[in-house]
Structure 1
Amino acid sequence: MSDTKDKIVTLADHLVRTKGFNAFSYKDIADPMEIKNAAIHYHFPAKADLGICVIDNEIDKFRESVEKWRKLPEDKQLTKLVEVFHRHGTNGFICLMGSLAPDFETFTDPMKAKVQEMGNVIVSWITGCLENGRAGKRFHFEGEAYDRALLIITNLQSSLILSRVLGPSVFNRVSNRILKDLKP
């Protein structure tokens, strides 16, 4: 991507995570970048195009992280995921999927599909991590790994949102409980 395009995507990602997708306009990107709206439209003719690019970047970052964690034991891999969420919270962000979900029904079909793809990639990875961790006696939990993965991702997402209201200790308490509840 070009430098301008990268900066647009980075700023859009920040705005989505702090305000929500429908709560910002191209002007919110153009003004701080000191460019015209037309420059944004050149790279992203529709706001959904920008949203899809933001999501694609997040999926790519997630896959790169997962690849780096691949040789770690599953409990350490899951801890790394929690650390990613913690960094987002420390920066005043909520997770991208959690930020996009409230606006989901307003998105174009291609953008809805991209949000679903992101969710499936993350939940599938957590599910596999849990299955492998349980098989290797690193995790203990009842029920299906997929169901537990859903509990983990929803708890991580909602704890970032609730931390905005009740303070950062909420995320720490929830994430610590998630990890402790999985110990054999």
Structure 2
Amino acid sequence: MSTAAPATAFDTRTRILNLAEELLLARGFNAFSYQHIAKELGVKPAAIHYHYPSKEELGAAIIQRQQRRLRKWRDLPRVTELTPPQQLEALLDVYRHRAARGPQVCLFGALAADFLTLPAVMQQELRTFSGELTHWLAGVLAAGRADGSLRFIGHPFSKAAQVLTTLVGSLQVARVHGEEQFHYILRQLRTELLPPSAA
């Protein structure tokens, strides 16, 4: 029995999701349409609607996939077995990689700008994603302060929220001033969080 049709359908669905995510990160959710996706992929808009009947469903799928990526990354042995400073560096590397890709920002930064106009389901998915990332980082910071490998004043959750807000903003700043400005901000974060011998 041939499996070509399901494989092709799966590939089309993935290609749609990949391109939609790229457009979202580069332009924002409200700045692209199914017409943009269809033209880029060389298909009819009806093909997009077949896989994602509404743009709301497509947007939610993008966030949900990012959520799965976060959970998988967070639970990888190569992350869980790291020391708190190394886990922090692993997170910073994610943003470094994003900055190196040019004008794209992170998912949270792209959607936060459009948040008030997003469908309710997307708003909730974004809150869930952001909450999980903040709680994870708060745990890393708390563990690091407990063993003396990280330093900061205040509650770990508050510091985690501040660090993530800074990272989101640093990608926005890099759009205006270039990648070098992003690295200035990262160096300042490391200086504030790591003991002098490690910064």
Give the TM-score of the pair, scaled to structure 2.
Answer: 0.90
Residue of structure 1 equivalent to 2:53: 45
Whether 1:148 aligns to 2:156 is no
RMSD: 1.1
Partner Cα distance (2:43, 2:107) in 1:
25
Q: Deviations over 1:118-161 (max 9, x none)?
A: 11011111111111111121111111011111110011010101
- Superposed, which structure 2 residues align to 1:1-184 within 5 Å? 2-68=10-76, 69-92=79-102, 93-184=104-195
Partner Cα distance (2:95, 2:187) in 1:
12
Q: How many residues align?
A: 184
What SS class does the counterpart of residue 143 from structure 2 fall into? helix
- For structure 2, the 5+ residue unaligned runs are 1-8
Greater shift, 129-138 or 17-26, is seen at: 129-138
Partner Cα distance (2:145, 2:72) in 1:
24
Aligned AA (1:173): Y
- Percent identity among equivalent residues? 34
Q: Which runs of 4+ in 1 moved over 3 A?
A: none
Shift of 1:28: 1.1
- For structure 1, the 5+ residue unaligned runs are none
